């Protein structure tokens, strides 16, 4: 069977169009997460941390967001991260250290806000502790958060959580 060049081109174009439609259909399965960027999201110091974020935290996978210096994990999102938030000053809020990264913890109902302390720019995490463990979140994010140099430490803290495992036992 002899095909003309036009028929070959039409068949190739149809195959390419079908492949492109498949890619778009797959991309539509995981919508982009709408996250408001922090005031200092364009700070260049956020970049080393953002490229070091883990692909998963617990059972939640990293998803695309629509803002610079933001990240989200889970579908639906169980964890939101924003780099470039206001740097917390001295506080009486609970401050914990996990793998050499200090975090100020504000427990809400149901959302907790965890903010790096002593690092400029600061990074904020919004999470529901009923959906994901704060210990897992802080341990998994510590290597990335440590990419922003510490200039201060928490003082007088009652809790010190050092060298937590970065994965859940048995997984």
Contact 103, 114 (CB under 8 A): yes
pLDDT at 143: 98
pLDDT at 63: 97
pLDDT at 156: 62
**Alpha carbons 119 and 125: distance in angstroms, whole number:** 14
Is residue 28 pLDDT above 80, yes or no?
Answer: no
Is residue 108 pLDDT above 80, yes or no?
Answer: yes
Is residue 18 pLDDT above 60, yes or no?
Answer: no
Block residue for tokens 């939101």:
80
Is residue 158 pLDDT above 70, yes or no?
Answer: no
Is residue 12 pLDDT above 70, yes or no?
Answer: no
Average pLDDT estimate for 37-61: 97
pLDDT at 165: 42
The domain limits of the chain are 1-30, 46-145
pLDDT at 155: 81
Is residue 127 pLDDT above 90, yes or no?
Answer: yes
Of 104 and 163, which is predicted with more confidence? 104
Is residue 16 pLDDT above 50, yes or no?
Answer: no
pLDDT band, residue 2 (cuts 50/70/90)? low
Instruction: Give the count of beta carbons closer than 10 Å to the beta carbon of residue 100.
Output: 13
- The proportion of the chain whose per-residue pLDDT surpasses 90, expressed as a percent, equals 69
Q: State the average pLDDT for the chain.
A: 82
The model carries a pTM of: 0.74
3-class secondary structure per residue, the chain: CCCCHHHHHHHHHHHHHHHHHHHHHHHHCCCCECCCCCCCCCCCCHHHHHCCCCCEECCEEEECECCCCEEEECCCCCEEEEEEECCCCCCCCEEEEECCEEEEEECCCCCEEEEECCECCEEEEEECCCCCCHHHHHHHHHHHHCCCCECCCCCCCCCCECCCCCCCCCC
């Amino acid at each position: 069977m002899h095909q003309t060049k036009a028929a070959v081109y039409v068949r190739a174009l149809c195959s390419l169009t079908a492949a492109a439609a498949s890619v778009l259909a797959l991309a539509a399965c995981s919508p982009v997460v709408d996250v408001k960027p922090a005031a200092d999201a364009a700070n260049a110091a956020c970049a080393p941390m953002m490229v070091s974020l883990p692909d998963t935290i617990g059972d939640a996978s990293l998803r695309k967001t629509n803002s610079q210096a933001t990240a989200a994990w889970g579908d639906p999102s169980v964890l939101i991260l924003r780099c470039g938030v206001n740097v917390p000053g001295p506080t009486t809020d609970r401050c914990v250290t996990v793998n050499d990264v200090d975090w100020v913890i504000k427990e809400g109902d149901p959302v907790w806000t965890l903010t790096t302390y002593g690092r400029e720019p600061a990074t904020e995490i919004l999470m529901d502790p009923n959906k994901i463990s704060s210990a897992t979140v802080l341990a998994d994010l510590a290597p990335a958060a440590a990419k922003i140099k510490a200039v201060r430490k928490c003082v007088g803290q009652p809790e010190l959580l050092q060298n937590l495992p970065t994965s859940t036992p048995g997984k």
